[in-house]
Each structure stands twice: as C-alpha cells, then as structure tokens.
Amino acid sequence: MSLSRLRNIVKCDVVKASASSALVSKLLGPCSEIVSTCTIQRRNVTQQNSKPDWNRAVSEAEKIVGYPTSFLSLRWVLSDEIANVALHLRKLVGSNHPLLKTAKNLIYNGKNNMQAWGLIVLLVSKAAGHSPEIPDMEQDKAAGVLYSQRALAEVTEMIRTSHLVHKGLVNMNSRQLTAAEPGDMMFGNKIALLSGDYLLANSCTELANLRNQELVELMSSAVRDLAEAEFLGERDEQNNPLPSRPVPEANWEPASEWDCILDPLPMSGVEGCLQREWVARHVLAAGALLGKSCSAALKLAGHNSELQTQGYLFGCHLALAWQAFLDLEAFTGPEPASFSLVGAPLAFTLQENPDLYTYIEAGRRSVHDVDYHALYRAVVEGAGIARTVALQRAHEAAARRLLERLPDGDARAALHNIIGAMRHDL
C-alpha cells in the first residue's frame, strides 16, 4: 500500500471522529474543504432545532453494543474500489452533481445518519438475546451480540447507503437540464451508479456468507422494496416525489391488508388517500428495510417466527415515527426555503383542503417551481402539524408496545431512550 494512501486515511480520521463511518469519510476525503464549510452551517441549524437528547441517546446506545457498526473495519478503508471512487469524486468537486450532497448528508445529516440504522439492529439483537444453543465462538461476548448480527447491521447500512447513492443520480433525459455541464453530470452518474452497485454487491456477498437462505431472501426483498419506493405515485422530472391528487374520503377504495413480508406491498386504496400514501411510501422506502433487518437479527439469534414478525413490526413503526419526526422538522424553526412535498403535515393539509393541489401541479416539471410559502402558510394554519404529532405518537406507542415483549435490560432501555429523544419544541 502506498504511503499517500495511508496519509489519506489518517486525514480521514479527523472526519471520522464525527462521522464514525470509514466508508463515507473516505469518499469525502479529497473534498473535505467543502464539507468543513458545510459543517459550520449545519451546526448552526442543529443548534437551533435539535435537542441534545438525541445525541445523548444515540451515543449512550452506541456504548451498549460496542462500536456502532462494523463499517469501521479496515477492509473498507483499504478497498481498491473505494480508493478509486475517492479519486474520481475529487473531479466532481465544483460541479453541482447531487452525489456530493448525498455523500455529505450521509455524514452530517444528524438524525438521519446511516449508522443509526445499524445501531438499532444491534440494540434489538442485544435486547432480545439469543438462543443458548449458539456456540461461544459466534458471540461477541463483550457487546452481547452475535458476529452474524453485526454483519447483518453492516448489510443494512450498505443497502441503505447504496439506495441513497442511487437516488442521487441525475436524470439526463430531462428537458430542464442545463447544457453547460453534461460531462460532469454523466461522470457523476457513472460514479454514483458504480458506488451504489459496489455496496449492493458487497451486501450480497456478506449475506451469502451468513449461510442462511431465508435471511438472504428476506433482505433481498428489502432491496426490492426500496426500488419499488422510487416508483410510487407522481414524480417530477428528477423523480422527486409529489403527492397524488387527494380524493374525498367517501370515494376511497378499501385498503388491503398489509400482512405480507416477502410479497410486494399491495397498492390498492393508496392513491388519492394521502395518509395511506404516506404510510405506503415510507414503509417501502424505510420501514421495510429497518423492519426486515430487525426481524432478520432475531432470526439469526434463533428466535421463533412469531417474535421475528414482532421485530419486523417494531422496525416499521420506529421508521414511521422517525419519518413523522423528520417531516415536522421543517415546521419547528423559521420558515424554510423548501420542504418535503410528501411529508405528513402537508399530506394531512392537502386531504383537508384539496384545492391546494393546484400548487402541487405547478411542480410537475420540477419541485422547485412550487410556491412553498403558500403551502407553508396552509400547513401552519391547518391541523396538519397537530395530526402529524399525533401520528408520530401513535407509531411510537406501537413501537414501545412491541419493545415490551423483550426482556428488560440496558439495550431495551436505550431503544426507549431513542424513541423518547424524537421530540421537537412546537
């Protein structure tokens, strides 16, 4: 290994201290200058609207299961492909390819960062314990989890990161694309696609090494769900999601039961009912992966299928509560320049007042064309925020009920703390 590469890794360590993800810090190694400026801005934002509760809950939880994830393993840092990506990413600095933003968000997006997902999988693993038949060799005694569960947590993060990176492609078929930088965009797409594929391929190998085919099937179905999520409902030209046109409650189609885990999520009764659309969207985009990972962790520990299903539901409810909490963030501080058009507060508001949909239609070409100020006023004046808070509480309560099925202990308490830390001052 070359010396310059070593130096690069050492340099990355500075970033790692805050990020604790070797992969992404290495991705960003060469462009740390843009990152550092962003950190300052970011810090200002976080000071305003995030409570230290969250950070404390997460860092205490991390101590319980040892280091947060196995992503830190050296083979990531030393991988040829990642070194290659870092090299190419340098060429993109200065362009505005969204891959840079994706990479940055992976590290600094406080509450939505990826290692939190692996952390939850490990906490569930520790909280549930494992069957006495599992040989000592396969246990990480100090942390109270199995090595296979740690590998699974890593797979969860790789799948999620891969999906976020693939989501960050630019659609070059769009008419609005400025002709100035097709080269940069094409190159950025290439790197984004390959990096995502690299993570996906590694998660395949890692899963195969667990030698549990039911688990491979379950986790592969989570990858499928993530892909499906990107097709749900209306989209602008860059595939940013838009809500569907609200239909009055009297005309809603009956919703189908969602008791499937391996089958794809049924879509009947979803379109036009914005609450259901919100749930379907975020179950596919987040709940499925977190739920299936929790379920898989319990499977690895030798728990029965009933508890595995509870694990799936816990992951889904936690992901939905989390999403509702993130959706509320835009409405806690000063009015933001833009916010998610498929967030729960706006979904409730649109359902109440379908005339507002004309504002959404203005964004068919690009979500940037939407009059966010008008929609913001409508949300703040309506019941959307209060109903989203209630929605978050409902999912939190469901998640807590499921947690009570697990024996009392430090890991379970840490999960309760994390749920409790999802609070805004409203």
- Please report how close the Cβ of residue 157 comes to other proteins at its closest, in angstroms: 16
Rounded-to-integer distance, Cα 232 and Cα 345, Å:
19
Q: What angle do CA 13, 17, 22 make, to 5 degrees?
A: 55
DSSP-derived secondary structure for 99-139: HHHHHHHHHH-GGG-THHHHHHHHHHHHHH---TTS-GGGE
**CA-based nearest residue to 318, from 421, 164, 207, 426:** 421
Taking the CA atoms of 114, 75, 217 and 189 in sequence, report the sign of the dihedral they define.
positive
Q: How far is the CB of 292 from other proteins (least distance, A)?
A: 12
Considering the complex, state which of residue 190 and residue 377 has its C-beta at the smaller distance from other proteins.
190
H or E segment at 145? strand 145-146
Judged by beta carbon, residue 182 or residue 333, the one nearer other proteins is 182
Nearest to 207 by CA among 124, 197, 199: 199
CA dihedral 79, 38, 287, 250 (to 10 degrees): -150
By beta-carbon proximity to other proteins, the closer residue of 169 and 320 is 169
Residue whose CB is less far from other proteins, 146 or 288: 288
Q: How far is the CB of 192 from other proteins (least distance, A)?
A: 8
**369 token code pair:** 């064309």
Smallest distance from other proteins to CB 392, Å = 27
Residues that bind other proteins (CB under 8 A): 80-81, 84, 87-88, 162-163, 166-167, 169-174, 186, 189-190, 193-194, 196-198, 200-202, 204-205, 207-209, 211, 213-214, 216-217, 220-221, 223-224, 226-228, 230-232, 235, 237-239, 262, 264-267
Distance CA 351, CA 331 (A): 18
Closer Cβ to other proteins, 152 or 378, answer by number: 152
We find the least distance from the C-beta atom of residue 232 to other proteins, in angstroms, to be: 7
Q: How far is the CB of 258 from other proteins (least distance, A)?
A: 12
> Closest CB to other proteins among 170 and 290?
170
